[in-house]
Structure 1
């Protein structure tokens, strides 16, 4: 073998030339002026550019343009030249490690469409490699448990890595849905439903409207539901347009304040001419054909609830067994939770006393409230 001459390939000759050039560069660099040092550095970088290009081409086909990878490789080459120390070994070995590390760092930090922690990025690569190996060994896709056992980690980490993999190249919201459809992926996302968001406000306003005097309620309905002008409303009520404007302003101001407080403020109809309100609840009791009829007029709220509860329970006790008690709700424009509790208490008292308690002629708002409270079976036709 000693008599045979070994043939050196072009690539090996280039590497030998590159190592030799690097040693020559390091030997001359320290004794040169600053301008000459820049020239020597440029010469070595130019000589090693093909070497950096070959390393960059190993990573093509992974979603990044080759031109970008070559730029990253050249940056790594410059760093290798600046940090090269001949006492630590071959320049080509050191440059290969530096350039490859720069390219991998580029893939880790620049190519992910969504920011993912470095730990998950590294684990995602390991999961991908382990998946390929296990698929070959098992002739099927591995389970999460098998991946966790192979990588000696928890199943939760494997699931997080699999989910994070989608962040490398996320789908564009402008991407088409289907092959030929004009719709985009972003068009499939729902939007906020303004009507649904206003449900709470509508229910609150609905309850507050019954606390207003009848005239103010009618004016609001004509203005905002009937599209009447202020002049039309003034002609309807026989008042001035300016008076209508003041009434609307005062009513809307009260509604805003009532919606922002837990306890609605008392309605003040005006200082000069106080207007009667129908807030005070009145109770009337009469007996007709062996049955008791109780008429309620006004608002069945917290202030009147205890009086109504006591009155209804007394009427139930006085009616006697198998008697009938009718509660006329035609005059009740508003009922709150305390009022409903009073009606429920009277119903329970009637049940224990074997008395038939029925509610007749409830207003639409009151009917809805009592239905929600479970009192609908007690409705009866007057």
Structure 2
């Protein structure tokens, strides 16, 4: 949903406090109007023509519009952010080419304030790099533990590069130190893979499930029916009660007789926490299954459940429905879905429903999901067993 234009107007006004006050009222009016137009653009391109004109006005305003642009970033959708990022980039490029002064000090101050949106802080850093590469090179290593995953990447990459350089020079101790430091800070799958492979070659073990916070120990039950893909909406016994000792009526067999199903323990060994229902339940189609995990915490807290799944799925925490997606085989990746959840002090139940459809192509055999518990930065939160 587009951000409230009144809110953006106030945001633009606040950003002007960091700029010279000469001509502030006209700058405020022009910038606020242009920003409102851009942030209101729709995901399907609605309002693009108006946004294009507003973009030109922002660029024409030069460096004075950078901070208002930053404050609008992250307030609309991805399309709006792309318009704003492009505007800031062009303004910075033009200023550098014309040898105009960019507000690097103000941008650095903005970057350091973690109350701003991750999108706007990342954009601030990118503009700093355009204006002063040496300054950016000094700042980047300090972002190693930044709450923004995007801003961490550069600092982590520097350590990866240092580790590789040390390894190539046969400086094993220095390589281990750099890679280990990088691993502690890394939150993105691609970087963690590179680090884990490097550390393994150096003779060190890397516990990827622990690093990411994947849940590995589950109770599973199934199969229940998913004929005509009706299992997603069907309310089976695990959604009504959790009784690990109970036996229920499951999906009918080839003779039309209902099977008996009960909970069974299952521990996944997959390094990225994938629970494959085909292993405990068999290679089934048109079926529904459930997985139950217990998560213990010393205090009530808010967390993110990050899930990857190419099947239809639903998630409950302590019996409360969180979210679900009724679609099949459209790809799977780590952290595909981010769900906000509240955990109570003590034991918490996390229930996942996963439906397999009727397709028989080889690429549809996967009936699996991966789920991890972390904070908003992607940092793993461990269950206290």
TM range (shorter): under 0.3
The two structures have a TM-score, normalised by structure 1, of: 0.23
Higher relative strand content: 2
User: Structure with the greater relative contact order (CA < 8 A, sep ≥ 6): 1 or 2?
Assistant: 2
Higher relative helix content: 1
The two structures have a TM-score, normalised by structure 2, of: 0.23
